[in-house]
């Protein structure tokens, strides 16, 4: 006899497998399996949920009815066991859902469990960062302050060193002997002194104890005044050095070309007037400036009279006129030298009242 499970198992098998199973069970090849309501006999003795106690299935052939054999039971039981083993061995872990909530809860639990050392650690780290930042800012400010102080000290030292060179510049600029090289160097040195002292003056507002210091302001004004007047004198001397310069042109002889001489004297007069118009105003040279104007007018008149005498072949008169032109220039030179001496004395006195910059 077969139970329902055996019948289903055989029914699901392929035809070849069915024949093999039937051969194993001892049935003939023309045996067929059927299940009808009339062929099932329900057992009323076992009312439990055991799957082995199902309705019996009968196997029919042409003439006889057989119960299932013990061999068939053994094979089916072995197949059932193998099926259960296969199901048991199949891993179901991959089908389990990811418990996101549980993981988050675990992380939160870990943080809470470490709360006693996490919070102090954060406070300690924050405190260290704050202390480090404050210390760094303090050191940086201290270094910056020190650098500024060193800058002020260096600037003060350079200013005083350059101011001490002003007497040499006074001497060069008021020397009767005019040297283009010396005057140019003196002019460059004055520009350096002026720029350095101006930098010193600009930085006074940032230095403590130097604001609204009247004595220091007066002292600086005297320094700038002296520098400006020396610079004006150098400019005055450069321009004046090109006024009425004859360079042996007045050495008259029989071979002189009157037309060339006339043109050269005309150029000298024109250049002298141009330089005169550009002369700076200096108090000590006011008298010389007035005299220089008269000198230029006289020189222009004498130049014309000289050319006329040469054209008329009046050699004696021409020589007298050349002497008059030279004397006119000498008077201007003497006035200039006197003005230089006055200027030198005045600027030396001005320098003497200048004290060292703090």
- Segment (H or E) for 291: helix 286-311
The pLDDT assigned to 126 comes to: 78
First to last CA, the chain: 130
pLDDT tens over the chain, length 358 residues = 555 555 555 555 544 455 555 555 555 544 444 444 444 443 334 444 444 443 444 444 444 444 444 545 555 555 565 555 555 554 444 444 455 566 666 655 565 555 666 667 777 777 878 787 777 776 666 656 666 677 778 888 999 999 999 999 999 999 988 888 899 899 999 999 999 999 988 888 877 766 667 888 899 999 999 999 999 999 999 999 999 999 888 888 878 888 999 999 999 999 999 999 999 999 999 999 999 999 999 999 999 999 999 999 888 899 999 999 999 999 999 999 999 999 999 999 999 999 998 8
Element (H, E) at 108: helix 100-113
**Token pair belonging to 338:** 């006197």
Asked if 259 and 311 count as a contact pair (C-beta separation under 8 A), the reply is no
pLDDT reported for residue 56: 41
DSSP 3-state of 57: strand
Residue 67's pLDDT is 45
- Tell me how crowded residue 289 is: count the other CB atoms within 10 A of its CB: 18
- Give the per-residue pLDDT at 302: 93
Three-state SS at 119: helix
Helices 214-240, 258-277: crossing angle, 10 deg rounding: 170
pLDDT at 83: 55
To the nearest 10°, report the CA torsion of 63, 67, 73, 74: -70
pLDDT of residue 49: 43
pLDDT at position 178, please?
84
Please report where in the chains the tokens 């600029």 appear, as a residue.
173
Q: Which helix (H) or strand (E) holds 118?
A: helix 115-163
In this predicted structure, what is the pLDDT of residue 36? 45
Task: Please choose, from the candidates 172, 173, 183, the residue with its C-alpha nearest in 3D space to the C-alpha of residue 282.
Answer: 173
**Confidence at residue 306, expressed as pLDDT on a 0 to 100 scale:** 92
CA angle 312, 317, 319 (to 5 degrees): 115
């Amino acid at each position: 006899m077969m139970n329902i499970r055996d019948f289903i198992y055989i029914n699901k098998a392929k035809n070849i497998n069915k024949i093999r199973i039937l051969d194993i069970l001892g049935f003939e090849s023309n045996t067929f399996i059927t299940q009808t309501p009339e062929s099932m006999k329900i057992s009323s003795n076992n009312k439990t949920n055991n799957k082995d106690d199902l309705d019996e299935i009968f196997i029919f052939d042409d003439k006889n009815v057989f119960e299932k054999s013990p061999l068939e039971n053994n094979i089916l039981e072995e197949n059932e066991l193998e099926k259960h083993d296969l199901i048991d061995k199949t891993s179901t872990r991959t089908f389990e859902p990811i418990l996101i909530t549980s993981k988050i809860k675990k992380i939160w639990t870990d943080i809470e469990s470490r709360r006693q050392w996490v919070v102090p650690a954060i406070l300690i780290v924050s405190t260290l960062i704050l202390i480090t930042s404050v210390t760094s800012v303090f050191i940086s400010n201290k270094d910056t302050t020190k650098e500024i102080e060193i800058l002020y000290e260096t600037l003060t030292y350079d200013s005083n060193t350059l101011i001490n060179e002003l007497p040499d510049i006074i001497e060069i600029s008021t020397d009767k002997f005019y040297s283009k090289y010396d005057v140019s160097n003196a002019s460059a040195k004055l520009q350096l002194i002026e720029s350095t002292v101006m930098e010193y003056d600009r930085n006074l507002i940032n230095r403590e104890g130097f604001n609204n210091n009247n004595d220091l302001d007066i002292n600086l004004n005297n320094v700038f005044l002296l520098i400006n007047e020396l610079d004006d004198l150098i400019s005055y001397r450069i321009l004046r050095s090109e006024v009425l310069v004859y360079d042996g042109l007045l050495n008259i002889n029989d071979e002189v070309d009157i037309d060339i001489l006339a043109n050269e004297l005309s150029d000298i007069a024109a250049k002298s007037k141009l330089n005169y118009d550009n002369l700076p105003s200096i108090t000590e040279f006011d008298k010389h400036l007035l005299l220089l104007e008269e000198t230029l007018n006289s020189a222009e008149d004498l130049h014309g009279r000289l050319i006329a005498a040469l054209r008329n072949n009046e050699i004696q008169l021409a020589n007298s006129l050349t002497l008059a032109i030279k004397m006119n220039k000498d008077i201007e030179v003497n006035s200039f030298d006197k003005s230089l001496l006055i200027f030198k004395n005045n600027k030396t006195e001005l320098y003497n009242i200048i004290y060292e910059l703090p």
